[in-house]
Amino acid sequence: MVAAKNDMKRKTHLHLLPTVGPITIWIFFFVFAPVAVIVAISFFATGSGGEILPRLSLENYRLLLFGGSEYPRAVIRSILYALVTNLICLGIGYPMAFWISKYGGKFKALLLFLVIVPSWSCYIVRIYALKQLVGYPGILNDFLLNLGLISSPINILYTPAAVVLGLIYIWLPFMVLPIYASLEGINPSLLEASLDLGATPQWQFLTITLPLTKGGIFGGAILTFIPALGDWLVPLLIGGNRVWMAGNLIEHYLVVRGKIAMASSMAVILTATVVLLIYVFIKLGGEESMERIV
Amino acid sequence: MKILNARRINTIVSMIGYLFVWAPIVVLAIFSFNASAYGVKWESLTIKWYVDLFHTPEIMQAVLRSLLIASITTIFATAIGTLAGYGLYKYKFAGRRFLRMSVLLPITVPYVIMAGALLVYFTRIVHIPLGYPAIIIAHISFSAPLAVFVTLGRMQRINWSLEEASVDLGANTLTTWRKVTIPLLLPAIFASAVLIFPWSFNDFTVTYFVAGVGTTTLPLYLFSMLEYSLKPVLINAISLIFIIMPILLIMLIYLSKARTKHGS
């Protein structure tokens, strides 16, 4: 019996190597190692010319947090934009998911597909398309001017509102999916029972549907809040150089100015913020919100 | 009466959502046939920009580069990811939960950070040359997790007794893999590849960080066109041919497959 069990175990080990082996090695060398390197670099001192000195210090963090740097403000701005984006995505995404789930009938798959498909196309193209439609000069402005509905062009580009609009446009589909999955997972007999017991549809929604889709809502929150928080292309392309989020500063210090240590410290601060927020969302939404992400 | 109102509001909000998601892309597609080169005003119908596109060597080169990178990435990421998904589902082992969480890491940490970390790692630590090697390695890091989760999601629906039967009937491990396991995994492999190829082809952020000089993929080329406001109408044409059309095609394949499966 024991021998058989040991045999089973050895067999499992034999199978582990070719199946989960490659990804383990890959993740170790090309995910963990790079992250470990920037975490380590962030704790080294920087010389006057930007070179990394072999001396441990908290200088980068001190400069970033208390040295009058623009970074803390950029992080707070990013959190704020991501929060507004997230709430508006929820406001549009929940009704969409609910509508597909309830009235989609045999077109459910198609309707869901129509939400996701645009998110498969190139990020740059999508932002450009939005810019061309609502910007100035832009197609919508031109159209409204010609109709005489507005007397002077409305230019929303390069404002915080434009950045938030862009973020909603990019991340909305990722709110619909987990909520839809959650709605589809509700046991229909619960809904029937509540109606039998005399609940009005509104009451039923508030007491049964909404609480049961909590996991989907927080799953969607993770999928929209986190990427919106770390976004840098929307502020770059729609916000011009006027509205910088945390990601823009990281890119600027790393690529343009070559200040690796400073950029690493910024990345560590932003990652810590993200991890903390994911933790809060999972605590609020329960285990299900984790499942709904993947 | 009240129900009707709630339902109507629900429908209206949903329609606004669909309109918001689709209008910019549809308008972009329509305006790619506009004769005016710079304006947002409609002039007349033309396909001149599409002809121009194929006569601009830089664009064609960028497309080929993107196709090459996306193909290699898809092959490796799908292989690694599908195997991992299979192993994670089939075997219980110490560190299984940890591995699952670790696979999530590259897709939950903001792209700028992961891409920046890879840039520092490649240039300062392991000295992998920027350009093709760096881009492909980085793309696999980001897209293999997609294959892992696609595979995990499909594993429950597969009838694994066929695999056991094959072993019981005396087939060795390799034969079982070749004749039973891989055919059973094919839908998962296909679904992963269909997700990963466009991801790699369309990726901007990761490529931007590790491309170095000279390896301009299509999204990087589009970005430089936008930055310097070159020929906006050409951008519309590129978008339609290389980005939106393939995606619509994939969608059609997917839907037709779903329908045949439903019918049988």
> Structure pTM?
0.88
What is the interface pTM, i.e. ipTM, of the complex? 0.87
- Whole-angstrom Cα distance, residue A97 to residue A90? 10
The answer, yes or no, to whether residue A57 has pLDDT greater than 90, is no
CA of A172 vs chain B CAs: smallest distance (Å): 8
- Whole-angstrom Cα distance, residue B156 to residue B185? 11
**Distant-in-sequence contacts of B171-176, Cβ < 8 A, 24+ apart:** none
- Within-domain flag for B18: no
CA of B24 vs chain A CAs: smallest distance (Å): 5
The answer, yes or no, to whether residue A120 has pLDDT greater than 50, is yes
- At B223-237, the pLDDT tens digits run 988 887 667 678 888
Indicate the angle between helix axes A173-184 and A160-171, nearest 10 degrees.
Answer: 40
Span of A270-284, B28-42, B90-104 with lowest mean pLDDT:
B28-42
Cβ–Cβ of A20/B91 closer than 8 Å? yes
Chain B residue with minimal CA distance to A37? Answer: B121
The answer, yes or no, to whether residue B264 has pLDDT greater than 50, is no
- At A9-23, the pLDDT tens digits run 556 677 778 888 899
Where are the alpha helices (H) located in A67-138, listed in sequence order?
71-103, 108-120, 123-134
- Whole-angstrom Cα distance, residue A144 to residue B230? 26
Tell me the average pLDDT across B39-51: 79
Chain B residue with minimal CA distance to A109? Answer: B255
Higher pLDDT, A183 or B170: A183
CATH architecture, range A70-293: Orthogonal Bundle (1.10)
The answer, yes or no, to whether residue B1 has pLDDT greater than 50, is no
The answer, yes or no, to whether residue A8 has pLDDT greater than 70, is no
Structure tokens at B103: 């696979």
Question: Is the CB of residue A38 less than 8 Å away from at least one CB of chain B?
Answer: yes
Structure tokens at A122: 């190139």
Question: Is the CB of residue B232 less than 8 Å away from at least one CB of chain A?
Answer: yes
The answer, yes or no, to whether residue A88 has pLDDT greater than 60, is yes
- Within-domain flag for B14: no
- Write the residue in A121, A125, A201 that is nearest to B6 by C-beta: A201
Q: Dmax of chain B from CA atoms?
A: 72
Tell me the average pLDDT across B247-264: 65
Higher pLDDT, B248 or A170: A170
pLDDT score at A55: 80
pLDDT score at A38: 93
Chain B residue with minimal CA distance to A114? Answer: B18
- At B105-151, the pLDDT tens digits run 888 888 999 999 999 999 989 999 999 999 999 999 999 999 998 89
Could you tell me the residue ranges of all domains in chain A?
70-293
- Write the residue in A30, A95, A271 that is nearest to B113 by C-beta: A271
pLDDT score at B205: 93
Where are the alpha helices (H) located in A104-187, listed in sequence order?
108-120, 123-134, 139-147, 160-171, 173-184
Structure tokens at B88: 């994670």
Question: Is the CB of residue A17 less than 8 Å away from at least one CB of chain B?
Answer: no
Q: What value does the mean pLDDT of chain A take? A: 86
Q: Which residues of B touch A124 (CB under 8 A)?
A: 204, 219, 222-223, 226
Q: Which residues of B touch A139 (CB under 8 A)?
A: 27, 31, 40
The answer, yes or no, to whether residue A51 has pLDDT greater than 80, is no
CB contact set of A12 (below 8 Å; sequence gap of 6+) = B91, B92, B93
Tell me the average pLDDT across B256-261: 64
Give the pLDDT band (50/70/90) at residue A1. very low
Q: Which residues of A touch B148 (CB under 8 A)?
A: 23
pLDDT score at B236: 83
- Within-domain flag for B179: yes
The answer, yes or no, to whether residue B262 has pLDDT greater than 70, is no
CA of B95 vs chain A CAs: smallest distance (Å): 11
Question: Is the CB of residue A110 less than 8 Å away from at least one CB of chain B?
Answer: yes
DSSP B255: H
- Whole-angstrom Cα distance, residue B146 to residue B199? 10
In DSSP notation, B152-181 reads HHHHTTS-THHHHHHHHTT--HHHHIIIII
Chain B residue with minimal CA distance to A265? Answer: B113
Tell me the average pLDDT across B70-81: 95
Question: Is the CB of residue B148 less than 8 Å away from at least one CB of chain A?
Answer: yes
Structure tokens at B107: 């897709």
Tally of domains in chain B: 1
Q: For residue B127, what are the domain limits?
A: 32-263
Q: Which residues of B touch A16 (CB under 8 A)?
A: 87, 91, 93
Unique residue bearing structure tokens 């995404």: A93
Q: Which residues of A touch B23 (CB under 8 A)?
A: 133
Give the pLDDT band (50/70/90) at residue A202. confident
Tell me, what amino acid is at A288?
Answer: E
Tell me the average pLDDT across A190-195: 85
Tell me the average pLDDT across B64-87: 94
User: Which of B15, B16, B21 to mutate to probe the A interface, most A CBs <10 Å?
Assistant: B21
Tell me the average pLDDT across A166-184: 93
Q: What value does the mean pLDDT of chain B take? A: 86
Tell me the average pLDDT across A135-148: 80
Q: Which residues of A touch B2 (CB under 8 A)?
A: 201-202
Structure tokens at A196: 């039998």
Chain A residue with minimal CA distance to B229? Answer: A128
Residue A43 burial by Cβ neighbours in a 10 Å radius (0-12, 13-18, 19+): middle
CB of B113 closer than 8 Å to CB of A267: yes
Domain CATH for B225: 1.10.3720.10
Structure tokens at B68: 């090459």
H/E element, B146: helix B132-155
- Whole-angstrom Cα distance, residue B232 to residue B219? 14
Burial A85-124 (b: 16+ CB within 10 A, else e): bbebbbebbbbbbbbbbeeeeeeeeebbebbebbbbbbbb
In sequence order, the β-bridge partners of residue A52 are A46
